[in-house]
Structure 1
Amino acid sequence: MKFSLGGTTHELVVAQYPSHTHLAQSSTPGGRSPLALNAENKLDTHAVLGNGTMPAAVLLCGGVLIGAVARRAAPHVKKGLVNLKARLSRPAGSTDNEAAVQLTIVADDDPKSSGIPRLAGV
């Protein structure tokens, strides 16, 4: 991506250089030179400058995709957080169903039964 502004040309590039080096400061404030310097600030190699349009487009598409997913997921996340807050704010020992059925073991007088006690609602 190349554009002109104020009599100078600007181009988006990707610089590739060894990980043990760093780019030199340019004479322009805030700028970088394509010279790759080592830890002693001695010239090690030159950085390879590549076209930065594709990486910029990938980053832009990735950002748009993440934004769309976040927008679609936000109501579900909010609902889950509200439910979690409600569960955590309940007093200890309370249940979701206040009208819980008490179950007791009752004797079965049926002669066909297997002799195993059964549970019945009381």
Structure 2
Amino acid sequence: MNKIGLILSTNLSAVIAIVFLTVITITGELYKVAGANGKMVSPIKDFLKALFGHHWVGKGVLAVVLFVILSGVLYLIFRKQNNSQSLAWTLSLLTYTLILGTVAIFGLSIYEFTNF
């Protein structure tokens, strides 16, 4: 097993999983429609709740499945990669994505808190 290819594939898969979680979390909180009783509901959260019992569980399961599948597919692409300079680039990308995702969700929390 090529360790560089494995690290590249898991780093990029983690980046995509972080983007997925950030987008689905923000969209789930901001996209609301009027329900049958007139109250505003989130169709994304309701869909995840219907499938997994709770929207947090649904996001987690989908992120893990996405990560595992992408890691495998990307490993097939990068398995012959021996350029260790790519490791620094993907690790930096992962770090920046994690920071931006955290800031975005924190910003959403501030927005939700100030606009109840």
Instruction: State the structure with more CA Rg.
Output: 1
Normalising by the residue count of structure 1, what TM-score does the alignment of the two structures yield? 0.25
Flag the structure with higher strand content: 1
Structure of greater relative contact order (alpha carbons < 8 Å, 6+ residues apart): 2
Normalising by the residue count of structure 2, what TM-score does the alignment of the two structures yield? 0.26
